[in-house]
Structure 1
């Protein structure tokens, strides 16, 4: 029986979610051995600069994909929101397991709700999407960027560097930290999450039929369809973490819907499009078509040109 080498980033969250995923796979294949190979990515090494300034989300996957290409690992476990919408030709997302909470979580000192933050409060986030949405609702607060892993960010808040921070609910829940830490959750219809937030993407070589067949056992069709719609929209819009862009797909009464969001960095405008279609790729393109019609694509083109 083959032993599988699994590539994962070294952070506490990445290792935790990798172990959780392997455990779910071992329920179906108890005799198969999996070994995690920790890989430090460029995104992990650069912690003092905003991601959008140094090349965006591909920073978290390039070294891992190199290991996959060289057959040092058999599969890579990514947070799907970190994976660029176009993969190298030889790889595929072999599985999207059941998605964790898609929402953004708001954490504040003294559990003050976002609407009750005093004017002039400092909110920390590393995301242009979050910053633009926060500023659109409250122009009397200051949004400052914060990097580092989850516990580093929380410590920075608790030390008084920030009055509040925003994190993905999924990471907090995977670490088992959410209940006592979170002040409130922002509902995804009101505060649009990142593309594929809360989902994992298991990347493998297309030729590896044995592994692809195994991964079917832990694949979620529904979450795969939703994230495909979201990632199609992202790809068409030429979006990245250098642009305030978000998207959230879900099934409502059996119908697939996608809400897309594009904003300028200062939060002064908000382009929101919601559409429905049974095919996720068509749906992602429909939302993108509408965004182009109403002029939102020009915001992205402008930012990308810079």
Structure 2
């Protein structure tokens, strides 16, 4: 495909949000493509696209995502730009991606997965266990809020959104005594030292697909498909196929507190998952192991098992919470 490769005169356009983390992920994608095809950085054009979520007022910035439109707030304009030909590919944090893509788009390229763990971040306390009763903890994640309420009901949990820099500033200003970020994001920003302590998945199961970068493309773009195949990480893809099948079977969205993690094991894959009420009053967790090829089926099976244990109306109660 040498004659079809991008060049400084005809660059491949990479769409992304404009946050420091989103840009770091776009640059990693560009660098991997440039290395795979021995191309200069100038053969790629990083296009920053403001999404509806990026344009929300500061008042909205502290409202739960479910009240202002959900995950699609951060992908809609980027995907529209791809469908119209304004960009060729889009780089996403996979934990933010809905399980279904718009018609005409494909998500089948993943970069090697980073650290999946949550990070405990505080200016005054060394770990979650060290937080005194009544400490204000800020997080935008419904999953983390529910997990905290289940494990530490003595803490005060408040809505806390914004990029990494914004959240750290809120800690400095005393808005909260602690917060949580993804270790993957901190590492990609060269800020791993911000984490007081990574939290083991046994203590706080991460979001489905946490730590993974996905690259979306037009379904009919064979040239781009061939390029992305050269940088696709198969093992990340196998793990995400399992986790996202689990999420899809739960009809998971930003309105449902769900944790899920697939890891390689002697049997092939080990999938752990949990569903929670927002107030932490009800938690159902389980795990399955099996061959890698059974990953998606395992995801569906574990979702059905957890739903079978939950009281009738569990997710309706979650969404009303």
Normalised-by-shorter TM-score class: over 0.9
Structure 2 Cα separation of the partners of residues 258 and 108 of structure 1: 30
The two structures have a TM-score, normalised by structure 2, of: 0.91
Contact 1:274 1:287 in 2 (8 A): yes
- Give the structure 2 partner of residue 43 of structure 1: 53
Q: 1:281 to 1:296 in 2, by over 3 A?
A: farther
Cα deviation, 1:59-82, whole Å, max 9, x if unaligned, reads 111111100100100000000111
Structure 1 regions of 5+ residues with no counterpart? none
Contact 2:139 2:160 in 1 (8 A): yes
Do structure 1's residue 205 and structure 2's residue 211 form an aligned pair? no
Q: 1:108 to 1:133 in 2, by over 3 A?
A: same
Do structure 1's residue 103 and structure 2's residue 117 form an aligned pair? yes
Mean CA deviation greater in 125-134 or 287-296: 287-296
Structure 1 Cα separation of the partners of residues 15 and 246 of structure 2: 28
Compute the displacement of 1:254 (Å): 5.0
- Give the structure 2 partner of residue 289 of structure 1: 304
Do structure 1's residue 68 and structure 2's residue 82 form an aligned pair? yes
- Give the structure 2 partner of residue 125 of structure 1: 139
Cα deviation, 1:5-59, whole Å, max 9, x if unaligned, reads 1100011110111111211111111236110110011111222422122121111
Structure 2 Cα separation of the partners of residues 111 and 140 of structure 1: 16
Do structure 1's residue 12 and structure 2's residue 27 form an aligned pair? no
Structure 2 regions of 5+ residues with no counterpart? none
Structure 1 Cα separation of the partners of residues 52 and 230 of structure 2: 32
2:126 to 112, 119, 126: 112
Contact 1:237 1:297 in 2 (8 A): no
Divergent runs of 4+, >4 A: none
- Give the structure 2 partner of residue 303 of structure 1: 318
Structure 2 Cα separation of the partners of residues 297 and 245 of structure 1: 17
Cα deviation, 1:128-152, whole Å, max 9, x if unaligned, reads 1001111111111101111111011
Compute the displacement of 1:296 (Å): 6.0
Contact 2:171 2:178 in 1 (8 A): yes
- Give the structure 2 partner of residue 77 of structure 1: 91
Q: 1:305 to 1:142 in 2, by over 3 A?
A: closer
Q: 1:54 to 1:152 in 2, by over 3 A?
A: same
Structure 1 Cα separation of the partners of residues 277 and 307 of structure 2: 15
Structure 1 Cα separation of the partners of residues 313 and 274 of structure 2: 14
RMSD across aligned C-alpha pairs, in angstroms?
1.5
Q: Counterpart of 1:109 in 2: which secondary structure? A: coil
Do structure 1's residue 25 and structure 2's residue 33 form an aligned pair? yes
Structure 2 Cα separation of the partners of residues 200 and 285 of structure 1: 23
Compute the displacement of 1:302 (Å): 3.3
Structure 1 Cα separation of the partners of residues 188 and 138 of structure 2: 21
Contact 1:262 1:296 in 2 (8 A): no
Cα deviation, 1:232-289, whole Å, max 9, x if unaligned, reads 1111111111111111111122520111110000001110010123222101111112
Contact 2:267 2:289 in 1 (8 A): no
Cα deviation, 1:67-101, whole Å, max 9, x if unaligned, reads 01001000000001111001123111131110111
1:237 to 229, 241, 250: 250
Do structure 1's residue 151 and structure 2's residue 161 form an aligned pair? no
Compute the displacement of 1:119 (Å): 1.1
